[in-house]
Structure 1
Amino acid sequence: MSLINKQIIPFKASAYHNGKFVPVSEANFIGKWSVVMFYPADFTFVCPTELGDMADNYAEFQKLGVEVYSVSTDTHFTHKAWHDSSDTIAKVTYPMIGDPSHQLARFFDVLITEGDDEGLALRGTFVIDPEGRIKTIEVHDNGIGRDASETMRRVKAAQYVAAHPNEACPAKWNEGEATLKPSFDLVGKI
Structure 2
Amino acid sequence: MTIRVGQLAPDFTATAVIEQEFKVIKLSDYLGKYLVLFFYPLDFTFVCPTEIIAFSDRHHEFKSLNTEVLGVSVDSEFAHLAWIQTDRKQGGIGDIEYPLISDLKKEISTAYNVLEPNAGVALRGLFIIDSQGFIQHITVNNLSFGRSVDETLRVLKAIQYVQSHENEVCPVGWQEGDKTMNPDPVKSKVYFSSLG
TM-score range, shorter chain: over 0.9
After superposition, the C-alpha distances for 1:50-96 in whole angstroms (9 at most, x for unaligned) are 11111111011101110000000111111001000132511412010
| Cα distance in structure 2, aligned partners of 1:141 and 1:86 | 27
Matched letter for residue 101 of structure 1: K
Q: Which runs of 5+ in 1 are unaligned?
A: none
- Tell me the CA shift for residue 40 of structure 1: 0.3
- The aligned counterpart of 2:16 is 15
Task: Tell me which structure has the larger Cα radius of gyration.
Answer: 2
Report 1:28-177 matches (<5 A).
Answer: 28-87=29-88, 89-114=93-118, 117=119, 119-177=120-178
TM-score where L is the length of structure 1: 0.93
Note the aligned Cα RMSD (angstroms). 1.6
Contact 2:182 2:188 in 1 (8 A): no
Report the alpha carbon displacement of residue 184 of structure 1 after superposing the two structures with TM. 2.4
8 Å CA contact 1:29–1:131 kept in 2: the answer is no
Q: What are the superposed Cα offsets for residues 3-36 of structure 1, whole Å, 9 maximum, x if unpaired?
A: 1011122321000011211111122231100000
- 1:97-150, Cα deviation, whole Å (9 max, x unpaired): 111111111111100112xx2x20000111000111110011011111111111
Structure 1 residues 5 and 29: CA distance shift in structure 2, 3 A: farther
TM (normalized to structure 2)?
Answer: 0.90
Report the AA paired with residue 115 of structure 2.
L
Contact kept? 1:82, 1:89, Cα under 8 Å: yes
Q: Given that residues 141 and 147 in structure 2 are in contact (C-alpha distance below 8 angstroms), is that contact kept between their aligned partners in structure 1?
A: no
Structure 2 gap segments, 5+ residues each = none
Query: Structure 1's 165 and 104: CA in aligned 2 closer, same or farther, altered over 3 A?
Result: farther
* Counterpart residue identity of residue 90, structure 1: G
Question: What number of residue pairs does the alignment pair up?
Answer: 187
Asked whether the equivalents of residues 52 and 91 of structure 1 are also in contact (C-alpha less than 8 Å), the reply is no
Task: Give me the identity figure in percent.
Answer: 38
**1:33–1:128: 8 Å Cα contact kept in structure 2?**
yes
1:15 aligned counterpart, secondary structure: strand
**1:184 maps to amino acid:** P
Using the TM superposition, give the Cα deviation of residue 2 of structure 1 relative to its aligned residue in structure 2, in angstroms.
Answer: 4.8
